[in-house]
């Protein structure tokens, strides 16, 4: 182990340079004009994998390519070594609004121990930490106690819809004992965490079509419905004053939180005033009867992510817009299913929609929620690795975000996922001025280095 640790220490400045190179690619999966950038980014990653001694391939999908990189398997004595899969994504969220960035999103800037760039924490920095740990093993001539395969995709931020078919097609090669993902959070730089639950997701776009074109609001106003108004009224009916989603049946499948789990979640309460200030809201709001920790990780939600209609330019323009549109996502908890939520929402919207506008519903991506027992021996091994790297006891968390593929890993590869996130609460994932903490980067490499040793120990 010593040579691995020494290698990591010695090469830290170069690793930071490499992360800077990596985040320069504007690999925005939501925007088609960036497809060449996704390809170029994947090729950079492929090269990096090859340089560190991995057998790496770039495999096409119906969407963006997948990078598969494995440690060399040169043993011939027939003994079965454990095999772990490390998952990450090289695609990033759209950087807009540009004007709120203190430096351009794809020109990395280091200030103190923070590296600012879109994709730095979500997720390039986090999986690069694992790659650099494996580089340390390979380049220091230290034998790994297990086989490793990296699977880095380019469509996570748009729902990973081409990845499940990919898993099925490569099932044999990807067959493994567990999946390791660093793409979640930790409470503070000195407080490592293991996440044992993620929320699922169901995405929609709702459009209300009104008049055949934008109309003069003076000449025609008063005789036709306004789609923006109709949409506002419709959306307002989707949540009640107690913060509950007002779609009939929405909570039917929700597994109630056990008294035990509520006690666990109460062990790390949010400092409400600090939290409120950090978010910049005058008052918190959430489902009545639940704590903020429960509300944001263990309870389902319905959110408007985008709302568009009419004239958005400078000054005023007196029109009745021809259409209005809302982008909506629901976050789901065990045992809600995205398909069922979609059909409930569709039925409810049809019922609510007035006859004066035409309703169109487009269904987007969906993913089931994920929950795994934190008591298994692999989880215990991961906790030991976190403890060794950070020098302090890790916490167990449920997270509100989603990683669509984790349920497919379970269903297709029959393996559990260890979520060992390195993102800090103020890393601004999905927001302007996203950053990654370079101490988390370095500690993440250490964690990965220890992890292979701990995970490969036979079950006690
Ligand atoms: N890294 C996040 C997921 C995450 C963030 C989990 C924080 C837990 C805590 C991931 O890249 C992400 O943002 N996923 C999307 C998925 C969606 C677009 C299908 C999400 O959760 O919005
Ligand atoms: Mn993300």
Long-range contacts of 251-258 (CB under 8 A, 24+ apart): 251/300, 253/335, 253/336, 253/337, 253/340, 254/299, 254/300, 254/333, 254/334, 254/335, 254/336, 255/333, 255/334, 255/335, 257/294, 257/298
The confidence score (pLDDT) of residue 76 equals 60
| Residues paired with residue 386 on neighbouring β-strands, in sequence order | none
Task: Give the sign of the dihedral formed by CA 154, CA 160, CA 162, CA 168.
Answer: positive
User: Is residue 379 within 6 Å of ligand 1 at its C-beta?
Assistant: no
User: Is residue 156 within 6 Å of ligand 1 at its C-beta?
Assistant: yes
Contact 335, 319 (CB under 8 A): no
Contact 219, 411 (CB under 8 A): no
Q: Please state, as a whole number, how many other Cβ atoms lie within 10 Å of the Cβ of residue 311.
A: 12
The confidence score (pLDDT) of residue 77 equals 67
Closest CA relative to residue 412, chosen from 241, 163, 47, 39: 163
* pLDDT greater than 90 at residue 459: no
Contact 297, 397 (CB under 8 A): yes
Average pLDDT, the chain: 96
Atom of ligand 1 nearest to the CA of 404: 19
The closest ligand to the CA of 425 turns out to be 1
pLDDT per residue as tens digits for the range 202-242: 999 999 999 999 999 999 999 999 999 999 999 999 999 99
Contact 269, 293 (CB under 8 A): yes
User: Is residue 407 within 6 Å of ligand 1 at its C-beta?
Assistant: no
Mean pLDDT of 385-401: 96
Mean pLDDT of 274-291: 96
Percent pLDDT > 90 in the chain is 95
Closest CA relative to residue 368, chosen from 395, 402, 394, 345: 402
pLDDT per residue as tens digits for the range 112-142: 999 999 999 999 999 999 999 999 999 999 9
Higher pLDDT residue, 225 or 265?
225
pLDDT per residue as tens digits for the range 34-52: 999 999 999 999 999 999 9
Mean pLDDT of 287-305: 97
Give CA–CA dist 250/368, Å, rounded. Answer: 15
Give CA–CA dist 353/326, Å, rounded. Answer: 14
* pLDDT greater than 90 at residue 299: yes
Mean pLDDT of 349-354: 98
DSSP string, 82-103: PEEEEEEE--B-----GGG-SS
The CA-atom distances, in angstroms, between 135 and each of 5, 8, 237, 446, 448 are 11, 9, 54, 12, 11
Mean pLDDT of 330-349: 98
Q: Work out the pLDDT band at 79, boundaries 50, 70, 90.
A: confident
Mean pLDDT of 61-79: 88
User: Is residue 184 within 6 Å of ligand 1 at its C-beta?
Assistant: yes
Contact 51, 114 (CB under 8 A): no
Give backbone dihedrals phi and psi of 227, rounded to 5 degrees, phi first.
Answer: -60, -35
The confidence score (pLDDT) of residue 269 equals 83
For tokens 């790659």, name the residue: 131
Give CA–CA dist 38/295, Å, rounded. Answer: 35
Closest CA relative to residue 455, chosen from 403, 416, 406: 416
User: Is residue 454 within 6 Å of ligand 1 at its C-beta?
Assistant: no
Q: Please state, as a whole number, how many other Cβ atoms lie within 10 Å of the Cβ of residue 381.
A: 22
Token pair listed for 307: 């709302």
Cα 403 to ligand 1 centroid, rounded to whole Å: 5
Instruction: Give the burial string for 421-444 (b: 16+ CB within 10 Å, else e).
Output: bbbbeebbbeebbbbbbbebbbbb
The confidence score (pLDDT) of residue 267 equals 84
Contact 32, 160 (CB under 8 A): no
The confidence score (pLDDT) of residue 268 equals 81
Mean pLDDT of 411-437: 97
Q: Please state, as a whole number, how many other Cβ atoms lie within 10 Å of the Cβ of residue 313.
A: 6
* pLDDT greater than 90 at residue 78: no
For a substitution probing ligand 1, which of 94, 365, 403, 423 has the most ligand atoms within 8 Å of its CB? 403
Give CA–CA dist 384/8, Å, rounded. Answer: 19
For tokens 């506008």, name the residue: 357
Q: What is the dihedral of CA 379, 384, 386, 387, to 10 degrees?
A: 140
* pLDDT greater than 80 at residue 74: no
For tokens 């568009």, name the residue: 308
């Amino acid at each position: 182990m010593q040579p691995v640790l020494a290698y990591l220490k010695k090469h830290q400045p170069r690793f930071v340079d490499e992360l800077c190179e990596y985040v320069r690619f504007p690999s925005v999966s939501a925007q088609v004009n960036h497809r060449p950038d996704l390809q170029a980014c994947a090729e950079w990653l492929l090269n990096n994998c090859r340089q560190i001694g991995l057998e790496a391939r770039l495999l096409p999908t119906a969407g963006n390519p997948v990078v598969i990189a494995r440690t060399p398997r040169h043993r011939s004595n027939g003994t079965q070594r454990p095999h772990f899969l490390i998952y990450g994504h090289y695609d990033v969220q759209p950087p807009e609004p540009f004007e709120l960035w203190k430096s351009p999103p794809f020109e990395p800037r280091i200030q103190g121990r923070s590296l600012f760039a879109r994709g730095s924490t979500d997720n390039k920095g986090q999986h690069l930490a694992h790659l650099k740990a494996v580089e340390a093993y390979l380049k220091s001539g230290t034998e790994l106690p297990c086989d490793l395969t990296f699977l880095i995709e380019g469509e996570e931020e748009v729902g990973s819809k081409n990845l499940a078919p990919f898993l099925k097609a490569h099932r044999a090669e990807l067959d493994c004992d567990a999946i390791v993902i660093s793409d979640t959070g930790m409470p503070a730089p000195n407080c490592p965490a293991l996440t044992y639950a993620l929320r699922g997701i169901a995405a929609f776009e709702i459009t209300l079509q009104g008049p055949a074109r934008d109309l003069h609001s003076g000449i025609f106003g008063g005789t036709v419905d306004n789609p923006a108004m109709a949409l506002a009224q419709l959306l307002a009916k989707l949540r009640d004053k107690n913060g509950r989603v007002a779609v009939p049946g929405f909570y039917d499948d929700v597994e109630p939180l056990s008294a035990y789990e509520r006690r666990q979640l109460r062990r790390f309460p949010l400092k409400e005033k600090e939290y409120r200030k950090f978010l910049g809201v005058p008052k918190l709001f959430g489902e009545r009867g639940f704590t903020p920790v429960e509300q944001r990780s263990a309870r389902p939600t319905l959110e408007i992510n985008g709302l568009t209609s009419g004239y958005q330019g400078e000054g005023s323009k007196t029109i009745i817009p021809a259409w209005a549109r809302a982008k909506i996502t629901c976050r789901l908890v065990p045992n809600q299913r995205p398909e069922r939520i979609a059909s409930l929402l569709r039925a409810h919207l049809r019922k609510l929609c007035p006859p004066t506008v035409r309703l169109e519903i487009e269904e987007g991506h969906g993913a089931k929620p994920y929950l795994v027992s934190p008591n298994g021996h692999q989880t215990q091994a991961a906790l030991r690795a976190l403890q060794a790297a950070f020098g302090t006891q890790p916490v167990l968390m449920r997270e509100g975000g989603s990683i669509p593929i984790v349920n497919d890993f379970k269903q297709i590869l029959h393996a559990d996922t260890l979520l060992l996130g390195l993102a800090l609460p103020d890393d601004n994932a999905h927001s302007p001025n996203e950053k990654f903490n370079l101490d988390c980067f370095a500690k993440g490499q250490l964690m990965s280095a220890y992890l292979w040793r701990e995970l490969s120990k036979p079950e006690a």
